[in-house]
Amino acid sequence: MKKAIVLGLALFATTASAAITGTPHDLLKLAGNTASSACQYCHMPHHSNTAVTDAPLWAKAVRTSYTDGGVAKTVGSNSQLCLSCHDGTASAVTTQHNGQTLATAYTINGGATGGTNVGTELGNDHPVSITYASAGGGLAALVSLTAAKTAGFVFFGATADQLECGSCHDPHVQPTGGNFLRGGTGDFCTKCHQK
Amino acid sequence: MRLLVAVALLAASPALAAPGRVAGSKHDLSVTGPGPIKAEQETRVCIFCHVPHQGSREALSSRPDPGAGHRPYASGTMRARPGAPSGASRVCLSCHDGTIAIGRTTSELIAMNGAAPGGVIPSTRRSNLGTDLRRTHPISFAPAPAASTHRPAPHDAVRLDRNGELQCTACHDPHAEYGGSAEGKFLVKPTAGAQLCATCHVSSGASSHASSPAALPPAERAATGYASVAEAACMACHRSHGGDARGGLVARGDVERDDALCLRCHGGAVARLDVALDAAKPYSHAIDGGRQHDAAEGPSGPGPRLPETSAAAPRHAVCVDCHDPHEANGQRTAAPLAGGALAGVWGIDLAGRPVTPARFQYEVCFKCHADSANQADAPGAVRRARPEPNLRLVFDPSAPSFHPVAAPGRNPEVPGLLPPYDETSLVYCTDCHASSSGPGAGGSGPRGPHGSVYPHLLERSYSTADGTVESAAAYALCYKCHDREVLLSSRSAFPHRRHVVDGRAACAACHAAHGVARTSGTDTANAHLVDFDLSVVGPGPGGRREYERRGPRTGSCALRCHGREHDRTTY
């Protein structure tokens, strides 16, 4: 956990808004925005959301009610942060505590289901908030947790073995292949899945 | 930095296809894939089937749904009824039914090389199964364990899906082309020696097919990749994909006759004995072997009725009516027991009940030659006073007289029985009805009633024509067991010589070879298989045409034969 926080903070600290600029996460380019920095859409230095464990000075309210195949799904804090935009339920980019609207009439993916709008039903997405375990066959034929970390993936939780959105995605670094994937695309899946 | 290096190294390595991985297998459709069908530029491997977001609930598939319109597998012998494909099978079929472009995902169209127009798998490739799934192993059903099938064991390489249903993925792991078998095809186990099939399908292993070292014909060898019958096992006769559309996954074309598959090996090519020679003889069991046989036929159940209940039902006899290729073997037995050749086949017992498997050879014959409503006299058959087409009644131990097929005969004093026969012996139907070139006839062809040059599919000559000049050859069939010398001498109580030699009456003029049923005959009038040939024996004094058994070695006849009247003439 500590390591994750350190890593998260390090990324936050060292990844200047220059890295965000021009990427899909640079919401400054949105029409009607009133923010002074791209960071503001996700982070705020004061009065941030403390309801979320380990939240990196989160600016937005989060949702905790998600489903997986119609069954209620508990989502880890890291994924809650991402989903606070990517579940498509927010109709405007609004910060939580002072209610400042940084961009109006913004819905992710133009309001359409699919693409960057993963919805609140997570059954059609790669599972998150699961313990990474390499034991067993079939889909569980995974590289070891250590190997996955060595390959660049990040894990969360008290024992740093929880897979969340941030395991595969680094919201601050957009590689050539896009999608904020840690280490790009290509043979991405097989870095964990021994298929 | 170290992390970046590691990532860079990993990123540079995917061209090296590890065994059991998609990369480098036929399912690697990326630009670096090895198969004839691959992307023009796409480097991602997984994307053709999976997507991390907005995938299907089934394995996060990226594939469009193949829709409706699949014709499911159907077979009368299968208890489960597969419906529309479900689960993972829909993902597989989204490429393999040949209706959706290989490069089509739910979000994009990846440009491909080597695909047919429309981007689909070319129809000439066996991996294009089409939407008619009658030719392919049933999928998307929950197996209903029965005597012949069971579910795969826990932790077996063959797995049902989370709903307990069998999907394509039971036998195929799409991620491991050579994961379980050297033959590829993404099988989880080799098919050689029935390893894959026997996971669910129960077989006693007693069949000669299971152990035969005989070499497959070159064409079959090329198609299956197997050298011997035993190695090919199930695949010698079945195709998991591309079987006969009527079910059973039989490796047979849609217009081929039922027996074509068997004769491919048993027509002189692989098996030692050539049954095709017998089948081509003028009197053969295979003459009706078109495409009428249904593995589900029987006294009840979903298939056609057998014994036939309609006089209009077409008669048929094909190899698998009498032989179960999964059980048949060379075990020889004594009458009346069913030998290895008939092992596993069902029959009809003396009481008319189905019996599985048949215990006695005659029970197999009774399937078609007893209660069947569509029996007709063979051309040239003797017209008798007491006809009874139901041989089950004729051979019943309570019948007035019968050849000893189901029980020892009723005559305690049969003159001139040749060793090893005596009055307690039983005989097989096939002691009389057999190949005219088999061992019983002194030949080297196959045993059994496959075909003969003699009418009624008899092993030897049996003349029924009035006026036949008696000879060892004319009645060779009768003389096989009944000593000609004794019968034609004074040691026979009945004056056979006077009738058969002097009067040139055929054996069949007075005797019905099978016997006379209780339903139509009596102990006195129809003892000793007596039932007159109506074309030879006419009514005598008082309009009577009858034999009367008066005791051991004595009886009388009242009739008119060859112009001579017998008025209760005794012997």
Q: Check if the beta carbon of residue A171 is closer than 8 Å to that of residue A17.
A: no
Contact criterion met (CB < 8 Å) for B43 and A185: yes
Task: Please give, rounded to a whole number of angstroms, the shortest distance from the CA of B243 to a CA of chain A.
Answer: 30
Contact criterion met (CB < 8 Å) for A186 and B60: no
Q: For A122, list phi and psi in degrees, rounded to 5.
A: -95, 10
As a 3-state breakdown, chain B gives helix, strand, coil percent values, each rounded to 5, of 20, 15, 65
The whole-angstrom separation of Cα A29 and Cα B472 is 112
**Closest chain B residue to A69, measured at CA:** B57
Q: What is the pLDDT of residue A115?
A: 86
Q: What is the pLDDT of residue B346?
A: 97
Q: Can you tell me whether residue B334 is helix, strand or coil?
A: coil
User: Which one of B6, B22, B175 has the shortest CB-CB distance to A150?
Assistant: B6
Domain end (from B182, B199, B229):
B182
Q: What is the pLDDT of residue B486?
A: 97
Q: How many CB atoms lie within 10 A of CB B27?
A: 21
Q: Is residue B372, in this structure, part of any structural domain at all?
A: no
Before B336, cis peptide (omega within 30)? yes
Chain A contact set for B43 (CB, 8 A):
185-187
Token code pair at residue B235: 């695949």
Q: Is residue B139, in this structure, part of any structural domain at all?
A: yes
Kindly compute the dihedral angle of the four CA atoms of residues B406, B407, B408, B409, in this order, to the nearest 10 degrees: -80
Token code pair at residue B240: 């998991």
- The one-letter code for the residue type at A78 is N
Domain end (from B148, B182, B216):
B182
Contact criterion met (CB < 8 Å) for A124 and B52: no
As a 3-state breakdown, chain A gives helix, strand, coil percent values, each rounded to 5, of 30, 15, 55
Sign of CA dihedral B9, B11, B16, B21: positive
Using an 8 Å CB-CB cutoff, list residues of chain B that contact chain A: 3, 6-7, 10-11, 13-14, 21-23, 43-46, 50, 52-57, 60, 107, 175
**Closest chain B residue to A149, measured at CA:** B3
What is the per-residue DSSP string for A104-119? SS--GGGG-SBTTB--
Domain end (from B128, B148, B182):
B182
Residues sharing a CB contact under 8 Å with residue A138, sequence separation 6 or more, in sequence order: none
Contact criterion met (CB < 8 Å) for B10 and A195: no
Q: What is the pLDDT of residue A177?
A: 81
Contact criterion met (CB < 8 Å) for B54 and A114: yes
**Closest chain A residue to B44, measured at CA:** A186
Contact criterion met (CB < 8 Å) for A124 and B46: no
Burial of A132 (0-12, 13-18, 19+ CB in 10 A): buried
Rounded to 5°, the CA angle B176-B182-B188 comes to 45
Contact criterion met (CB < 8 Å) for B11 and A186: yes
Q: Tell me, rounded to whole angstroms, the distance of Cα B240 from its chain centroid.
A: 18
Q: Is residue B371, in this structure, part of any structural domain at all?
A: no
Chain B contact set for A125 (CB, 8 A):
52-55, 60
Q: Which residue has the tokens 């209903």?
A: B144
Extended beta strands in B161-264, E state: none
Q: What is the pLDDT of residue B16?
A: 39
Sign of CA dihedral B167, B172, B173, B174: negative
Domain carrying residue B404 = 391-570
Q: Is residue B481, in this structure, part of any structural domain at all?
A: yes
User: Which one of B6, B45, B107 has the shortest CB-CB distance to A187?
Assistant: B45
The whole-angstrom separation of Cα B122 and Cα B102 is 10
Contact criterion met (CB < 8 Å) for A195 and B21: yes
| A-interface mutation test, from B53, B57, B63, B160, most A Cβ less than 10 A away | B53
Task: Please give, rounded to a whole number of angstroms, the shortest distance from the CA of A185 to a CA of chain B.
Answer: 7
Q: What is the pLDDT of residue B220?
A: 81
Contact criterion met (CB < 8 Å) for A187 and B13: yes
Contact criterion met (CB < 8 Å) for A195 and B52: no
Q: Chains A, B: CB contacts under 8 A, how many?
A: 72
CA diameter of chain A? 51
User: Which one of A124, A150, A188 has the shortest CB-CB distance to B57?
Assistant: A124
Chain B contact set for A184 (CB, 8 A):
7, 11
Mean pLDDT, contiguous 10-residue spans, chain A (195 residues): 40 53 84 75 84 85 91 95 89 64 70 87 93 66 89 93 95 89 79 86
Chain A contact set for B177 (CB, 8 A):
none
Q: Is residue B178, in this structure, part of any structural domain at all?
A: yes
Q: Is residue B432, in this structure, part of any structural domain at all?
A: yes
- Whole-structure pTM value: 0.84
Q: Check if the beta carbon of residue B374 is closer than 8 Å to that of residue B311.
A: yes
Q: Check if the beta carbon of residue B399 is closer than 8 Å to that of residue B378.
A: no
Q: Which residue has the tokens 């096989």?
A: B480
Sign of CA dihedral A120, A121, A124, A130: positive
End-to-end CA distance of chain A: 29
Chain B contact set for A186 (CB, 8 A):
11, 14, 43-44
Query: Minimal CA–CA distance to B561: which of B513, B475, B488, B495?
Result: B495
Residue stretches of chain B with pLDDT short of 50: 1-17
Chain A contact set for B88 (CB, 8 A):
none
Q: Can you tell me whether residue A130 is helix, strand or coil?
A: strand
User: What pairs with residue B71 in β-bridges?
Assistant: B132
Contact criterion met (CB < 8 Å) for A190 and B56: no
Q: Is residue B398, in this structure, part of any structural domain at all?
A: yes
Using an 8 Å CB-CB cutoff, list residues of chain A that contact chain B: 69, 113-115, 118, 123-126, 150-152, 168, 182-191, 193-195
Task: Please give, rounded to a whole number of angstroms, the shortest distance from the CA of A195 to a CA of chain B.
Answer: 4
Total number of domains in chain B: 2
Contact criterion met (CB < 8 Å) for B45 and A126: no
The three-state (H, E, C) secondary structure of B484-530, written as one string: HHHHCCCCCCCCHHHHHHHCCCCHHHHECCCEECCCCCCCCCCHHHE
pLDDT tens-digit profile of B115-138?
999 999 999 999 999 999 999 999
Q: What is the pLDDT of residue A16?
A: 43
Chain A contact set for B17 (CB, 8 A):
none
Q: Is residue B347, in this structure, part of any structural domain at all?
A: no
Q: What is the pLDDT of residue A37?
A: 81
Q: Check if the beta carbon of residue B437 is closer than 8 Å to that of residue B444.
A: yes
- The one-letter code for the residue type at B493 is A
Q: What is the pLDDT of residue A142?
A: 87
Q: Tell me, rounded to whole angstroms, the distance of Cα B411 from its chain centroid.
A: 38
User: Which one of B23, B45, B53 has the shortest CB-CB distance to A126?
Assistant: B53
Contact criterion met (CB < 8 Å) for A187 and B10: yes
Task: Please give, rounded to a whole number of angstroms, the shortest distance from the CA of A87 to a CA of chain B.
Answer: 12
Chain A contact set for B3 (CB, 8 A):
150, 152
Token code pair at residue A62: 């989060």
